[in-house]
Amino acid sequence: MTDAAVLLIDCPDRKGLVARVSGLLYAWGANILHADQHQDHELGLFFMRVEWSLGGASSEVSDGGQSRGQESGGGGAPRGKSGGAEKAFDLEGFKPAFATMAAELGMRWQLTSSARRIRVALFCSHYLHCVADLLERWHSGELRCEIPLLISNHRNVESLAAFYGIPFAYVPVVVGSREVAEQRQLELLAQHGIELVVLARYMQILSADFVARYPAAIINVHHSFLPAFTGARPYHAAHARGVKLIGATSHYVTEALDDGPIIEQDVARISHRDQVEDLVARGRDLERMVLSRAVRWRLDQRILCYGNKTVVFD
Please confirm, yes or no, whether 258 is among the known catalytic residues.
yes
Quick one: which of 38, 44, 49 has its CA closest to 12? 44
DSSP notation for 56-95: -----B-TTS-BHHHHTT-SS-----BTTB-----HHHHH
Q: Helices in the chain by DSSP H: which ranges? A: 17-27, 68-71, 91-105, 129-139, 158-164, 178-191, 208-213, 234-241, 276-299
Angle at alpha carbon of residue 204, lines to 202 and 205, rounded to 5° = 120
| Separation of alpha carbons 296 and 306, rounded Å | 20
Quick one: which of 182, 174, 287 has its CA closest to 226? 287
Quick one: which of 109, 114, 163, 94 has its CA closest to 135? 163
3-class state of residue 261 by DSSP? coil
Handedness of CA 190, 196, 198, 199 (dihedral sign): positive
| Separation of alpha carbons 139 and 272, rounded Å | 39
Q: Which among 3, 133, 209, 258 is annotated as catalytic? A: 258
Active-site residue numbers? Answer: 258
